Amino acid sequence: MGRYPCCKVNNDLKKGPWTSEEDEKLMENIQEHGHGNWQLVPKRAGLNRCGKSCRLRWTNYLRPDVKRGAFSIEEEETIINLHSVLGNKWSRIAAHLPGRTDNEIKNLWNTRLKKKLLKSGIDPNWDKDFHGATAPILAESSRIVIHDRERWDTPAPSMVQCTSDERKLQ
Protein backbone atom coordinates (compact mmCIF):
# COMPACT_ATOMS: atom_id res chain seq x y z
CA MET A 1 0.00 0.00 0.00
CA GLY A 2 1.23 3.42 -0.85
CA ARG A 3 1.85 6.21 1.58
CA TYR A 4 0.43 9.67 1.34
CA PRO A 5 3.40 11.55 -0.01
CA CYS A 6 2.55 15.22 -0.50
CA CYS A 7 3.90 16.81 2.71
CA LYS A 8 7.09 14.74 2.65
CA VAL A 9 7.90 15.18 -1.00
CA ASN A 10 7.39 18.91 -1.14
CA ASN A 11 9.09 20.61 1.78
CA ASP A 12 8.11 24.05 0.49
CA LEU A 13 4.51 23.46 1.45
CA LYS A 14 3.32 25.55 4.34
CA LYS A 15 2.56 23.95 7.70
CA GLY A 16 1.15 25.19 10.96
CA PRO A 17 -1.80 27.42 11.78
CA TRP A 18 -4.08 28.58 9.01
CA THR A 19 -4.52 32.30 8.30
CA SER A 20 -7.94 33.81 7.67
CA GLU A 21 -6.98 34.41 4.03
CA GLU A 22 -6.16 30.73 3.59
CA ASP A 23 -9.44 29.77 5.24
CA GLU A 24 -11.31 32.07 2.93
CA LYS A 25 -9.63 30.70 -0.18
CA LEU A 26 -10.31 27.13 0.86
CA MET A 27 -13.94 27.84 1.78
CA GLU A 28 -14.67 29.66 -1.45
CA ASN A 29 -13.07 26.98 -3.54
CA ILE A 30 -14.83 24.07 -1.89
CA GLN A 31 -18.18 25.83 -1.92
CA GLU A 32 -17.74 26.53 -5.60
CA HIS A 33 -16.30 23.22 -6.82
CA GLY A 34 -16.73 20.77 -3.97
CA HIS A 35 -13.59 19.04 -2.76
CA GLY A 36 -13.57 15.98 -5.00
CA ASN A 37 -9.90 15.07 -5.15
CA TRP A 38 -8.14 16.66 -2.19
CA GLN A 39 -4.84 16.72 -4.05
CA LEU A 40 -6.35 19.18 -6.49
CA VAL A 41 -7.96 21.43 -3.90
CA PRO A 42 -4.87 23.40 -2.85
CA LYS A 43 -3.79 23.86 -6.46
CA ARG A 44 -7.22 25.04 -7.49
CA ALA A 45 -7.53 27.34 -4.50
CA GLY A 46 -4.01 28.73 -4.92
CA LEU A 47 -2.90 27.47 -1.53
CA ASN A 48 0.63 26.41 -0.67
CA ARG A 49 -0.66 23.51 1.42
CA CYS A 50 -0.95 19.80 0.91
CA GLY A 51 -4.31 18.20 0.28
CA LYS A 52 -4.22 16.43 3.58
CA SER A 53 -3.86 19.69 5.45
CA CYS A 54 -6.77 21.18 3.47
CA ARG A 55 -8.99 18.21 4.18
CA LEU A 56 -8.25 18.38 7.90
CA ARG A 57 -8.90 22.11 8.04
CA TRP A 58 -12.18 21.70 6.21
CA THR A 59 -13.51 18.74 8.19
CA ASN A 60 -12.45 19.99 11.61
CA TYR A 61 -13.03 23.69 11.32
CA LEU A 62 -14.48 25.20 8.16
CA ARG A 63 -17.32 22.83 7.34
CA PRO A 64 -20.58 24.76 7.77
CA ASP A 65 -22.17 22.05 9.90
CA VAL A 66 -19.37 22.00 12.48
CA LYS A 67 -20.74 22.95 15.86
CA ARG A 68 -18.34 25.23 17.70
CA GLY A 69 -18.23 25.89 21.41
CA ALA A 70 -18.28 23.95 24.63
CA PHE A 71 -19.66 20.44 24.90
CA SER A 72 -22.87 20.07 26.86
CA ILE A 73 -23.14 17.67 29.81
CA GLU A 74 -25.34 15.46 27.64
CA GLU A 75 -22.73 15.37 24.90
CA GLU A 76 -20.01 14.48 27.41
CA GLU A 77 -22.15 11.70 28.83
CA THR A 78 -22.78 10.38 25.34
CA ILE A 79 -19.09 10.37 24.58
CA ILE A 80 -18.24 8.55 27.80
CA ASN A 81 -20.82 5.91 27.06
CA LEU A 82 -19.90 5.47 23.45
CA HIS A 83 -16.25 5.26 24.37
CA SER A 84 -17.04 2.52 26.85
CA VAL A 85 -18.62 0.59 24.01
CA LEU A 86 -16.48 1.48 21.03
CA GLY A 87 -13.11 2.34 22.55
CA ASN A 88 -10.95 4.90 20.73
CA LYS A 89 -13.06 4.81 17.59
CA TRP A 90 -13.35 8.57 17.48
CA SER A 91 -14.91 8.79 14.06
CA ARG A 92 -17.63 6.34 15.05
CA ILE A 93 -18.29 8.25 18.25
CA ALA A 94 -18.43 11.48 16.25
CA ALA A 95 -21.04 9.92 13.99
CA HIS A 96 -23.41 9.89 16.98
CA LEU A 97 -22.81 13.56 17.74
CA PRO A 98 -23.97 15.77 14.88
CA GLY A 99 -21.73 18.76 14.33
CA ARG A 100 -18.85 17.37 16.38
CA THR A 101 -15.64 16.13 14.79
CA ASP A 102 -13.56 13.13 15.74
CA ASN A 103 -10.64 15.42 16.48
CA GLU A 104 -12.69 17.54 18.86
CA ILE A 105 -13.98 14.49 20.69
CA LYS A 106 -10.52 12.96 20.90
CA ASN A 107 -9.18 16.20 22.36
CA LEU A 108 -12.01 16.41 24.87
CA TRP A 109 -11.42 12.84 25.93
CA ASN A 110 -7.67 13.20 26.32
CA THR A 111 -7.73 16.52 28.12
CA ARG A 112 -10.83 16.39 30.30
CA LEU A 113 -12.97 13.28 30.29
CA LYS A 114 -10.13 10.91 31.08
CA LYS A 115 -9.29 12.89 34.22
CA LYS A 116 -12.96 13.16 35.12
CA LEU A 117 -13.33 9.39 35.02
CA LEU A 118 -10.16 8.82 37.01
CA LYS A 119 -11.49 11.19 39.66
CA SER A 120 -14.67 9.16 39.72
CA GLY A 121 -12.70 5.98 40.32
CA ILE A 122 -13.16 4.63 36.82
CA ASP A 123 -10.24 3.48 34.76
CA PRO A 124 -10.59 5.20 31.38
CA ASN A 125 -8.32 2.56 29.81
CA TRP A 126 -10.74 -0.20 30.72
CA ASP A 127 -10.90 -1.58 27.20
CA LYS A 128 -7.23 -2.52 27.22
CA ASP A 129 -7.74 -4.72 30.26
CA PHE A 130 -11.33 -5.86 30.34
CA HIS A 131 -12.50 -5.94 26.74
CA GLY A 132 -15.53 -3.81 27.30
CA ALA A 133 -16.65 -5.17 30.63
CA THR A 134 -17.04 -1.73 32.20
CA ALA A 135 -19.45 -0.56 29.56
CA PRO A 136 -22.57 -1.37 31.56
CA ILE A 137 -21.13 0.38 34.62
CA LEU A 138 -20.44 3.55 32.69
CA ALA A 139 -23.76 3.39 30.93
CA GLU A 140 -25.52 3.12 34.23
CA SER A 141 -23.60 5.96 35.76
CA SER A 142 -24.42 8.46 33.09
CA ARG A 143 -27.99 7.34 32.53
CA ILE A 144 -27.78 6.94 28.80
CA VAL A 145 -28.99 3.87 27.00
CA ILE A 146 -26.63 2.67 24.37
CA HIS A 147 -28.02 0.73 21.52
CA ASP A 148 -24.74 -0.09 19.83
CA ARG A 149 -23.67 -3.10 21.79
CA GLU A 150 -21.19 -4.61 19.42
CA ARG A 151 -18.41 -4.57 22.01
CA TRP A 152 -20.53 -6.14 24.73
CA ASP A 153 -20.33 -9.63 23.38
CA THR A 154 -17.65 -10.55 25.88
CA PRO A 155 -19.23 -11.70 29.14
CA ALA A 156 -18.39 -9.31 31.97
CA PRO A 157 -15.99 -10.74 34.56
CA SER A 158 -16.96 -10.23 38.18
CA MET A 159 -15.49 -6.83 38.67
CA VAL A 160 -16.47 -4.05 40.99
CA GLN A 161 -14.37 -0.96 40.40
CA CYS A 162 -16.03 1.44 42.80
CA THR A 163 -19.22 2.22 44.64
CA SER A 164 -22.18 3.64 42.80
CA ASP A 165 -21.65 7.01 44.49
CA GLU A 166 -18.05 7.06 43.40
CA ARG A 167 -19.18 6.19 39.94
CA LYS A 168 -21.37 9.23 39.60
CA LEU A 169 -19.84 11.57 37.13
CA GLN A 170 -19.23 15.15 38.08
Q: Which residues bind DNA (CB under 7 A)?
A: 1-5, 7-8, 14-18, 36-39, 49, 51-53, 55-57, 60-61, 70, 88-92, 102-104, 106-108, 110-112
Q: How far is CA 161 from the centre of its chain?
A: 26
Q: Which of 2, 157 has the CB closer to DNA?
A: 2
Q: Which of 7, 156 has the CB closer to DNA?
A: 7
Q: Please, what is the minimum distance in Å from the beta carbon of residue 158 to DNA?
A: 27
Q: Please, what is the minimum distance in Å from the beta carbon of residue 15 to DNA?
A: 4
The C-alpha atoms of residue 134 and residue 70 are separated, in whole angstroms, by 27
Q: Which of 19, 154 has the CB closer to DNA?
A: 19
* Residue 18 neighbours by CB under 8 Å, 6+ apart: 26, 57, 61
CA-wise closest residue to 39 among 65, 61, 7? 7
Q: Please, what is the minimum distance in Å from the beta carbon of residue 63 to DNA?
A: 12
Q: Give the other-Cβ count within 10 Å of 135's Cβ.
A: 25
Rg (alpha carbons) of the chain, rounded to whole number: 20
The C-alpha atoms of residue 104 and residue 154 are separated, in whole angstroms, by 29
Q: Which of 76, 137 has the CB closer to DNA?
A: 76
CA-wise closest residue to 46 among 33, 64, 62? 33
Q: Please, what is the minimum distance in Å from the beta carbon of residue 160 to DNA?
A: 27
Amino acid at 107: N
Q: Which of 7, 144 has the CB closer to DNA?
A: 7
Amino acid at 51: G
Q: Please, what is the minimum distance in Å from the beta carbon of residue 45 to DNA?
A: 14
